[in-house]
Structure 1
Amino acid sequence: MRFSPLEPATTRENPCKIALEARMLELFAPANARTGDLAAANGIQNASLWRSDAIHRARNLAQLTHSLANLSEHPSRRWLPDTLVVQTRSLARAYEELGAECDQTELVPCVPLLTEIATRLPLIFAIARNLAAVVDTQPVTLVPDMRRALILMCSELIINTLKYGYPDGAGGVIRVSLTNEPAGVRLIVEDDGVGAASAAMAGQGSALLEQLGDIMGASLTRSPGDNSQGYRVSAQIETIAAHPA
């Protein structure tokens, strides 16, 4: 399934709107992540800690998005776009569902939540820059912990790209693909920006990605995008079989 949101406005928005989106996006930076040294020290116990971290991160994102919607609805903020409230409420509901605890053995579909989150993030935080996400997926179902880690990884990569990949008001396209492969499932998030997102991933974002990768037993590959432009992260989940929805 291929999904692309409605085209953002094609006219160049003023720098104030771009600056506003950047300030809002700063609120979504990840908290300090546990390091790989803790994984070596704690073994299986650490997997439980990181599972709790993933649930907390999803719920934190839901709270932040709800707060942004509340702020947008306040009478003193009526100058914000009306669509911002609609988009943020929908995104918050998606993060709430992602953070909900449920039967850990039941397979759940990945594509609806992944598409909802991946496409709405640019609509909230990058519409003034004429940025959009295109999602191309195959049906995939995973157990809830795996799905949460997979979609959070996608979310963090997109947030990072929105923050660092398109400076100075540049526009572009973030491409997300989720495919079944003989060895498991592959997630790819790629942008056509300036490539600055790769340098930014050396900090907190990288540690969080490694945590999420460990939850899934995934191997991460980072590389330039097509034609050596932009930045691509590929996550191969090889410890499970692909499950068509």
Structure 2
Amino acid sequence: MSAAVAAYFFIDPIFSFAIGLKDTFALTIFVAIGFTMSWITEALREAVRRLDESEAAKALLLEELAHRTKNDLAIISSAITLQRNNSKDPAVRDALSAANARVLVVAQAQERLRGDGKGGLVGLSDYVTALGHGLGDLLRDVRPIAVRVTCTDIFAPSSVAVHVGLIVNELVTNSLKYAYPTERGGVIKVDITTNGTNMIVTVIDDGVGCSPETVPGLGSKLVRLLAKQLGGTVEREDANPGCCVRVTLDERILLLP
């Protein structure tokens, strides 16, 4: 239509479709370019449509995977709880309780993946806050111990969120178990921030303090292993009063696929 309008109104003789061979060749190239552009535009539109469908299918599969994984972890947690309740050995019961807490950390991360709409990312603020409150309710018994969590608005891949959750789980559990002997109460603070190059996870209590003679247990070894897997380091220092453990992680882990 554009070629016809140009031929009729703008190419001599005007108001006529009688055009010369040179103008016919130019109009033919113009029409060919127009059809090519239309074909490319339609191809791009179809590619975008297929990409949207693929993203929707991937999101659905991710949600289904998270749901199935959560159910599997719930079964494992129930089995561990049953085994713990049937055991009369306090050491075995404590070990099974610790294992169950770790399973629940992973389960909570999977729950956060469901319908997140962020391509499999977990909001660390809500995740760690819920985790800290759950640990406090589970482990503090009747002692007046509060677990307070502050976390900047960070979204991390699920694998990173699980690592961070396990680190927080082990550090808070250690504080709840060892920092407050007898009926002593206190506050355990969890702080997660970024400084442009690193993500820093800090757990500080106001308990009895860090003993230099303390032999690292399974929890401490697990924290160091988890930090190492994310290219991080672990520092432990006296907080006067209490103990402070700082885990520094490379912020590039937040960009992992």
Quote how far apart the aligned CAs of 1:209 are. 0.9
Q: Deviations over 1:187-245 (max 9, x none)?
A: 100000002577556121221111110222111111111xx2111111111251768xx
2: CA distance, partners of 1:172 / 1:67:
28
Pairwise mapping of residues 133-148 of structure 1 onto structure 2 (< 5 A)?
Answer: 133-148=147-162
Q: How far apart in 2 are the matches of 1:127 and 1:220?
A: 28
1:94: how far off?
5.6
Q: Does 1:209 align with 2:220?
A: no
Distance 1:194 1:236, change over 3 A: same
Q: Distance in 2 between matches of 1:129 and 1:235?
A: 27
Q: What is the Cα deviation at residue 148 of structure 1? A: 0.6
Question: Larger % of helix: which?
Answer: 2
Query: Per-residue displacement from partner, 1:4-39 (whole Å, max 9, x unpaired)?
Result: xxxxxxxxxxxxxxxxxxxxxxxxxxxxxxxxxxxx
Residue deviations 1:44-91 (CA, integer Å, cap 9, x gap)? xxxxxxxxxxx9xxx5997169838x97xxxxxxxxxxxxxxxxxxx9
1:111–1:206 CA distance, 2 compared to 1 (3 A) = same
Residue 126 in structure 1 maps to residue 140 in structure 2: yes
The aligned amino acid for 1:154 is V
Report which of the two structures shows the higher radius of gyration computed on alpha carbons.
2
Aligned 1:1-245 pairs, distance under 5 A:
59=73, 63=77, 67=81, 95-98=106-109, 106-195=120-209, 200=214, 202-225=216-239, 228-240=240-252
Is there any run of 5+ residues in structure 1 with no aligned partner, and where? 1-54, 72-90
Structure 1 segments (4+ residues) deviating >6 Å: none
Q: Match of 1:186, as an amino acid?
A: I
What SS does the aligned partner of 2:227 have? helix
Q: Which one has more relative contact order, counting CA pairs under 8 Å at least 6 apart?
A: 1
Q: Is the 8 A contact 1:161 1:197 kept in 2?
A: no
**Matched-pair identity in %:** 24
TM-score by length of structure 1 reads 0.56
Give aligned pairs, total.
Answer: 163
Contact 1:132 1:174 (C-alpha < 8 Å) held by counterparts:
yes
Give the structure 2 partner of residue 38 of structure 1: none
Letter in 1 for 2:246: S
Q: 1:94 to 1:213 in 2, by over 3 A?
A: closer
Give per-residue Cα distances to partners, 1:118-157, cap 9 Å, x unaligned: 1121122214110011111111111111111111100100
Would the alpha carbon gap of residues 159 and 176 (structure 1) be closer, same or farther in structure 2, given more than 3 Å must change?
Answer: same
Amino acid in the other structure paired with 2:218: Q
Does structure 2 conserve the Cα–Cα contact (< 8 Å) formed by 1:217 and 1:239?
A: no
Unaligned runs of 5+ in 2: 1-68, 86-101, 114-118
Q: Match of 1:212, as an amino acid?
A: L
Q: Could you tell me how far apart the structure 1 residues matched to 2:204 and 2:212 are? A: 11
- Matched AA of 2:81: S
Name the SS of the counterpart of 1:128 in structure 2: coil
